[in-house]
Amino acid sequence: MSRGKSRSSVAWAACFVLGTASLAHAESSNAVYDATCGLCHQARAAGLKGQFPRLAGRVDRMAADPEARVYLIQTVLHGLVGKIDVDGTTIVGVMPPFESQSDAAVASVLNYLVGLGGAPAKKVKPITAAEVAKVRAGERLAGPQLLERRRALAAAGHVP
Ligand code: HEC
């Protein structure tokens, strides 16, 4: 992935300066997030009501649930299109697929998002590159099938 973007270079420099102070805690920023997700999902994944779903405080809950965890990885790899309900508002949006991202990059951005959860990143097992590779190689749920899967998971309380 290109690291030529000035925004991520600044983030890297800031990490370097602040690094030693913040190492013990969850990542304070993530280069993949800044370069590929932040434009839509906003700073620190706060979302934009009615347009882009909030991910902070939701991805950690999905990652803690075995079924939602697979959905989470599938969504980043294959994208999501259609109507979903988040934070009491309906979003009819388009999430582009990120299949071109490496397994390590997908794992990295998801672990960053897990760390933004409200509760201290408790018992959520870090997502590994190998886990992403396994989902990538598995059943390819995308488009209407993935949307249907999300509906079922949300109805059963697996997706907040
Ligand atoms: C072009 C804007 C855009 C970009 C860039 C983007 N997303 Fe999304 N994302 C969306 C939209 C819109 C949705 C909701 C899709 C829908 O309404 O069906 C979404 C949904 C999601 C969901 C599912 C949320 C849920 O409640 O089911 C996850 C997880 C997610 N995005 C993660 C990411 C990650 C990680 C990245 C960066 C690798 C990223 N997104 C980049 C727009 C974007």
Architecture of domain 6-155: Orthogonal Bundle (1.10)
What pTM value is reported for the model? 0.86
The answer, yes or no, to whether any atom of ligand 1 lies below 6 A from the CB of 93, is yes
Per the CB < 8 A criterion, the answer to whether 94 and 83 are in contact is no
Model confidence pLDDT, tens digit, residues 29-51: 999 999 999 999 999 999 999 99
Question: For residue 74, which of 147, 157, 155 has the smallest C-alpha distance?
Answer: 147
Per the CB < 8 A criterion, the answer to whether 86 and 47 are in contact is yes
The answer, yes or no, to whether any atom of ligand 1 lies below 6 A from the CB of 39, is yes
DSSP state letters, 35-79? HHTHHHH-GGG--BTTTB---TTTHHHHHTSHHHHHHHHHHHHH-
Model confidence pLDDT, tens digit, residues 72-105: 999 999 999 999 999 999 999 999 999 999 999 9
Q: Whose CA is nearest to atom 17 of ligand 1?
A: 93
